[in-house]
Chains A and B, each alone.
Chain A
Amino acid sequence: MNCIIIDDETTARVIINQLCSQIESLNVLAEFSNAIQAIKYLNQNEIDLIFLDIHMPDFTGFDFIQTLKNPPKIILTTSDSKFAIEAFEYDCIVDYIIKPIALPRFQKALEKAENTLDIQTSDTSDKVETTSGNDLYINIDRRLIKIDIPSIYLIEAKGDYINVKTEDKNYTVHSTLKKIEDKLPDSIFLKIHRSYIINVKKIIDIEDNSVLIKKDVVPVSRSNRPELMKRLNLL
């Protein structure tokens, strides 16, 4: 699991990093002393798990979660037990650990996170899109609905769902961007942001950090922009 740590206290980040180093399956990609920096990072990078402090100046852990369109799994790390009830109102929060964190409790939280990710993976595989030539079948309410792949112009991640937009209709499917990305031809489709895949043939125009596609303005991550520019037949 790729993870990041967000905590304004250096001591806490050092401790969580040390705990992570004792878990083989964990890979700490970055640490942040404030949530704003982390939001910028998440706009350009996909991660599985966040260790998040609640008490931070200016922008709390809960403020941070509310800014995320498609949040990864989150383990809250805090010195306060009083926010536990509020915490579990968020689907993305898998556990709530009180500092100082001991290794056994940390391992237990990770097991919960791993189990949640496993459930998600198996759940989406039940509803996986299947392709046949130019068609994509999506599972909605136990019906397999056929979609003509070139008619798709935008796919947007929305929590545990994806919104597939076509010329005629929009479909909301319980699946992930990664799952559908694997089913679509690379020659037409491109992921331009952690939450968006577009049909490059349907682009109307491109501004600095966004693409106009039909009536949708879609953000382009800085890291994905070079690939998008490569795909265009530039004069």
Chain B
Amino acid sequence: MEQPNQSYIKSLSGGNIEFEKKLISVIKTEFPIEKSIYLKNITAKKYKETAENVHKLKHKISILGLEKSYEIAVQYENDLRKNNTILKDDFETILQVITNYLITI
């Protein structure tokens, strides 16, 4: 399983540590909220809303350098719009990997 990294954040910051801290802090605040809304909607089988949640989450997946996971998220979002949840477990594993990583930074 690929692991999150800060390559994109560092390329964006141009060495500005304050910015890096600020962005990480925002992600650490925003990600759990988006994840929790996603879990609520998928549990309620509200697939259209869930697809919107995945759409937002996939930006964070890409920011954390998870390229393969991003592709899974793109496919999952499209599938959800057709009420197909086949990638649910894969996507939720990605969310857990990010959750674990955010604790460490």
Chain A residues close to B by CB (< 8 Å): 9-12, 14-15, 18-19, 22, 55, 57, 79-80, 99-100, 102-103
Contacts and interface: CB of A to CB of B under 8 A. Distances in A.
Contact of A79 (B8, B12, B58): B58
B23 A79 contact: no
| Interface class of chain B by DSSP | helix
Contacts of A10: 26, 29-30
B23 A15 contact: yes
A57 B52 contact: yes
Interface in B45-65: 52, 55-56, 58-60, 62-63
Contact of A11 (B14, B16, B60): B60
Given A57-B52, A102-B11, A11 B22 contact: no
Pick from A14, A19, A102 the residue with the most CB of B within 10 Å. A14
A14 B26 contact: yes
Contacts of A99: 59, 62
A11 B23 contact: yes
Contact of A55 (B11, B16, B55): B55
Contact of B59 (A19, A79, A103): A79
A158 B62 CA distance: 40
A19 B60 CA distance: 17
Given A9-B30, A55-B52, A79-B59, A100 B8 contact: yes
B62 A14 contact: no
Contacts of B55: 55, 79-80
**What are the 6 closest A-B residue pairs judged by CB atoms, nearest first?**
A100-B62, A99-B59, A79-B59, A10-B26, A100-B63, A11-B26
Given A9-B59, A11-B60, A79-B59, A19 B12 contact: yes
Contacts of B14: 22
Contacts of A102: 8, 11-12
Chain B contact residues (Cβ within 8 angstroms of A): what range? 20 to 34
B19 interface: yes
A18 B59 contact: no
B72 to A, nearest CB: 14
A62 B56 CA distance: 18
A103 B60 CA distance: 17
A175 B20 CA distance: 44
Given A55-B55, A57-B52, A99-B62, A11 B30 contact: yes
B27 A11 contact: yes
Contacts of A100: 8, 59, 62-63
A204 B28 CA distance: 57
B96 interface: no
B83 interface: no
A12 B26 CA distance: 10
Contacts of A9: 30, 56, 59
A5 to B, nearest CB: 14
Given A55-B52, A100-B8, A18 B58 contact: no
